[in-house]
Amino acid sequence: MPPTLDQIAGEPGTFAILAMDQRGTLRRMLDKAGQPSADHDLSDFKVDVIGALSPLASGVLTDVEYGAGPVRSAGALDPRAGLLIASERSPQPTWRGEHRTEYRGGERGPAFVAANGGAALKFLVRWRPDRPAGAGEPDLAGEALDAVRAVVADCRAYGLPSVIEPLVTVHPDESADARRRLVIRSAELLAALDPDLLKLEWPGDADGCREVSKVCGRVPWALLSAGVAYEEFVERVLTAMDAGASGYIAGRAFWGEAAGLAGDDRRRFLRTTAVDRMTALNAAIEGHGRGWREVRS
């Protein structure tokens, strides 16, 4: 029997999860905005965001490097929000500039996540599902599938939910339709490994969302924000949920501009604009989407 997702889901079994696991991405955002970006600055940022928004979330996704400990020490996580812990290291290894998936179950598997207070394990996969393995090259797509297979098996044996986040690699000259096909194919291959939840990119349009729901079968999926503007993300979430998605796992659509602020100005923005955004999206999605138990049935 798969582990329960109830600790990171709302009452209807859908997901309103705050993503605050960015590490290298957050540092680059702070650097670009001219803000301090030392390790403690990343932790302070995470404490501010999670303190403001976790009361509105069914779950909070963060990391161990800069998030979980400081957030716990500050008492920033609302007790009603389940904690997802990012298992993957940041940055992941590469091979000749291409992402290479690595899962270290003994070091950063479900026991590691549970020891850091996590109710679910999140694992990031940067890959291209149709990448062929050339002579003398590692099979990067095969490595990704093997890693996810091991994550799912370890989590199932431990009794902790697995949340898989694939980000597909798209070449600069490829069309939007090509990206759509890659996102759908990625979802199909990973859903076949039976993770408890997939955190997926936007598959282009409503037809793409319906196709994702079809290929995912009995695996629920939630939409990530990928840094798009809030208004566009709201439209995408509603479209995805009406096509069978079970909610969202998002961060920058709510708090992105806070990277350019500091101190009281940042906390004020989070308590007002970011809270208003998340509150409005949660209200908008009521009655939409499929609860995870419905998808699993």
What contacts 160, CB < 8 A, 6 or more positions away? 3, 110, 113, 114, 118, 119, 120, 121
When pLDDT is cut at 50, 70 and 90, the band that residue 283 belongs to is: very high
The yes-or-no verdict on residue 41 having pLDDT over 90 is: yes
Average pLDDT estimate for 60-64: 98
How far is 19 from 81, CA to CA, in rounded Å? 12
**Mean pLDDT score of the chain:** 96
Share of the chain above pLDDT 70, in %: 99
How far is 8 from 84, CA to CA, in rounded Å? 8
CATH superfamily of this structure's domain 7-296: Aldolase class I (3.20.20.70)
pLDDT at 270: 98
The yes-or-no verdict on residue 126 having pLDDT over 60 is: yes
Q: Cis peptide leading into 91, omega within 30 of 0?
A: yes
Q: What is the pTM of this model?
A: 0.96
When pLDDT is cut at 50, 70 and 90, the band that residue 133 belongs to is: confident
Alpha helices, DSSP H, located in 38-172: 39-53, 68-74, 105-108, 110-115, 140-158
In the block, residue with structure tokens 């004020």: 268
pLDDT at 1: 54
